[in-house]
Chain A
């Protein structure tokens, strides 16, 4: 048994002080040793490729998934562009110009690329500098819609082992239950607006999720062509009403079956003792 010192909290306080000192020391040492050398100003042209702008945009090469950016600095103020590049997701909730753009480009939102302030500035300088990218669009050979569907739903494996589209995306024409909900529904998506837009984007997807998924397991040109053939065919403005009805019927029937099953399995459960007892007794007395 520890003796009673009369100062109940002296030991915890000492430990806390010692810890604090140790932490301060470690902080000082690390900041000296690992002090970062002054950063070089980022290069806008390099960023345009490395950050993936090029997956959706050209400068002077025409629209892809997103608009052609030539002359953008003349149309928008520097302030607007800075806000837009830093946090497009926030702009989309508040700025009417941004919302109009979203509607114009098939509701494909500009993703937040996590750009730092100096990177944003460098990109704006690059965009205003009159440089062009030329036509970066990648053309696609003719594809086969049937094997495109097989790729989409997972009947056919991708050569490089990438995941099947259906895990995250839904599209019309693959059955009543559709596909996943994590990614956008591709039925009306701007990504499949033209083969050039699709292929350019899929060549090096710039969004956080797609980029991470496809970096190491890219699609082959033929796979892209087949998928495009399928997706462009599946592109209808709406899901068929019959498919929606099918889902509704399936859910109702499933729920009903479960309820019946539970009633059978738990039919003998306790449903109350007092009320039935009173009813029984009063009935017997009559």
Chain B
């Protein structure tokens, strides 16, 4: 057992209101420099939709992540060693600028400086890359925002491929159109494709907290990470000639604050805490067959209360404070204890450490005489409206394609538990359910009153301290080797900061 600590995340999709505050918080801090205009380390997608960059989930095109061969071994989908070498000066699997979008601003000055004329002056769109006016803007990072059922973008969502023609048709019917939001940041994976693809060894996973960072000194612009990451969460800065990615706001974490997107999240959907995992199992778990992937990933997350795990953690020099933080972690509860948070696209086999509680979706209904008629629900022996999984507008197969590599029962189990929470609380507050119905829901959700209450509390009423259990990252211990931590803290804050210069040849 090789126990390590990982700062991990949960996004509760039921609470996301699609406000993009998270994206803006991130952009204002990290990507408002030249060359980074098009980067959204945090972006929020409308699903079904093609996301950003367009159809990033289609690895037939983008060649990201890992692939399992007949012998059960995993390989980078991008290339093997020989392929990597022959393509090193020309990576054939890069998204084009158009697949992200051409970033633009507006010529606001013209509103003030335009000479007097018969018409109102306008502020033309100006490309932030070429500086030239853009006549038509055709794409943006959230182009299909809020457009459920849009005929071009929504209908080209790769996850819809798993549905039958009939199911797809239904998604376009009025009264059945449905969408939800999917905020995405780098998953700080346990088996990151970006790290494996980088020929310069510039990307690394920090030992103490698992944050995946990209060294601005070592990066040589091969751009293999951009193809290697199946989530397309590394980006190439065309001005500095280096790739960049989400750093999980490590300077904020080191001073005890949650990352900016977490802190600013309006829906309070984001949770952060430590997971202890067994690093010996990474290869084995990442190579599991598709339908076992979610279970495999849960298996390698260790119980922070187990004395054997604690002993192994201490042997690996994980501090008592870190272990205590892991015991208190909201992420541990969602992912392992309650098992209602799932990794996004486990089929990419990078073992992402950001987990999602899938959103509750409205059920299918037709209007009859001006009223919703949720037909057929009673036949299933279930109360109407909130409870039927079978009648969910969004077919469960779609959710399984997103969150369980196509394994439908795994997602169903999560939903049954979430439905139990709803029915239980509704019976408590609105009192329109019979006790028998509540008991049936609890049984179906394989849960009990106590657990449901705990899930409810952490979902709906969590305090700041409950959402963000930030461990002491001990950066002062790490820098001790080369300078006085106290001098460092006073003069520059924690962290290693060097000037980034373009390499001179």
| Chain A residues engaging chain B, CB cutoff 8 angstroms | 1-2, 4, 8, 262, 265-266, 268-275, 277-278, 281-282, 285
A192 to B156, CA, bound (A): 75
Which one of B6-14, B55-63, B215-223 contacts A? B55-63
B152 near A278: Cβ-Cβ < 8 Å:
yes
With a cutoff of 8 Å between Cβ atoms, the chain A residues found around residue B155 in the complex are: 281
B487 near A270: Cβ-Cβ < 8 Å:
no
Of the candidates A1, A262, A265, A271, the one whose C-beta lies within 8 Å of that of B485 is A1
B58 near A269: Cβ-Cβ < 8 Å:
no
Given contacts A277-B55, A282-B152, A285-B151, contact A1 B484 (CB under 8 A): yes
B90 within 8 A of A: yes
A1 to B477, CA, bound (A): 9
Q: 3 tightest A-B contacts by CB? A: A269-B92, A274-B54, A2-B484
B290 within 8 A of A: no
Query: In the complex, which range does the number of interface residues on chain B fall in?
Result: 20 to 34
Of the candidates A1, A262, A268, A270, the one whose C-beta lies within 8 Å of that of B95 is A270
Chain A's closest residue to B489 (CB) is A4
Given contacts A2-B484, A278-B152, contact A270 B54 (CB under 8 A): no
Of the candidates B94, B96, B139, B156, the one whose C-beta lies within 8 Å of that of A281 is B156
Minimum CB–CB distance from A4 to chain B (whole Å) comes to 5
With a cutoff of 8 Å between Cβ atoms, the chain B residues found around residue A278 in the complex are: 152
B55 near A8: Cβ-Cβ < 8 Å:
no
Minimum CB–CB distance from B338 to chain A (whole Å) comes to 37
A270 near B61: Cβ-Cβ < 8 Å:
yes
B98 within 8 A of A: yes
A167 to B465, CA, bound (A): 74
With a cutoff of 8 Å between Cβ atoms, the chain B residues found around residue A268 in the complex are: 92
B491 within 8 A of A: yes
B137 within 8 A of A: no
Interface code B469-505, partner A: CB below 8 Å = 1, 0 otherwise? 0000000000010001111001100000000000000
Chain B's closest residue to A1 (CB) is B480
B325 within 8 A of A: no
B98 near A275: Cβ-Cβ < 8 Å:
yes
Minimum CB–CB distance from B179 to chain A (whole Å) comes to 18
Of the candidates B96, B152, B480, B486, the one whose C-beta lies within 8 Å of that of A272 is B96
B350 within 8 A of A: no
Given contacts A4-B486, A277-B50, contact A270 B93 (CB under 8 A): yes
B92 near A277: Cβ-Cβ < 8 Å:
no
Of the candidates B54, B86, B92, B151, the one whose C-beta lies within 8 Å of that of A273 is B54
Given contacts A1-B480, A1-B485, contact A269 B50 (CB under 8 A): no
Interface code B57-80, partner A: CB below 8 Å = 1, 0 otherwise? 010011000000000000000000
A274 to B90, CA, bound (A): 21
With a cutoff of 8 Å between Cβ atoms, the chain A residues found around residue B156 in the complex are: 277, 281
A277 to B53, CA, bound (A): 13
The 19 listed contacts between A and B (C-beta, < 8 Å) are A1-B486, A2-B487, A4-B484, A8-B487, A8-B491, A262-B90, A266-B92, A269-B92, A270-B95, A270-B96, A272-B96, A273-B54, A273-B61, A273-B62, A273-B99, A274-B53, A274-B55, A277-B50, A281-B155
B484 near A274: Cβ-Cβ < 8 Å:
no
With a cutoff of 8 Å between Cβ atoms, the chain A residues found around residue B95 in the complex are: 270, 273
With a cutoff of 8 Å between Cβ atoms, the chain A residues found around residue B53 in the complex are: 273-274
Minimum CB–CB distance from B344 to chain A (whole Å) comes to 20
With a cutoff of 8 Å between Cβ atoms, the chain B residues found around residue A269 in the complex are: 92-93
A256 to B55, CA, bound (A): 34
Given contacts A8-B491, A269-B93, contact A281 B99 (CB under 8 A): no
A278 to B150, CA, bound (A): 12
A185 to B11, CA, bound (A): 71
A266 to B91, CA, bound (A): 9
With a cutoff of 8 Å between Cβ atoms, the chain B residues found around residue A271 in the complex are: 96
Chain A's closest residue to B50 (CB) is A277
With a cutoff of 8 Å between Cβ atoms, the chain A residues found around residue B139 in the complex are: 274
Minimum CB–CB distance from A171 to chain B (whole Å) comes to 33
Interface code B140-166, partner A: CB below 8 Å = 1, 0 otherwise? 000000000001100110000000000
A273 to B58, CA, bound (A): 10
Given contacts A277-B54, A277-B156, A282-B152, contact A272 B487 (CB under 8 A): no
Max chain A C-beta neighbours (<10 A), residue from B485, B487, B490: B487
A273 to B153, CA, bound (A): 12
Chain B's closest residue to A277 (CB) is B156
Minimum CB–CB distance from A3 to chain B (whole Å) comes to 8
Of the candidates B94, B152, B484, the one whose C-beta lies within 8 Å of that of A270 is B94
Chain A's closest residue to B55 (CB) is A273
Minimum CB–CB distance from A48 to chain B (whole Å) comes to 43
B98 near A274: Cβ-Cβ < 8 Å:
yes
Minimum CB–CB distance from A158 to chain B (whole Å) comes to 35
Max chain B C-beta neighbours (<10 A), residue from A1, A268, A277: A277
Chain A's closest residue to B58 (CB) is A273
A262 to B55, CA, bound (A): 27
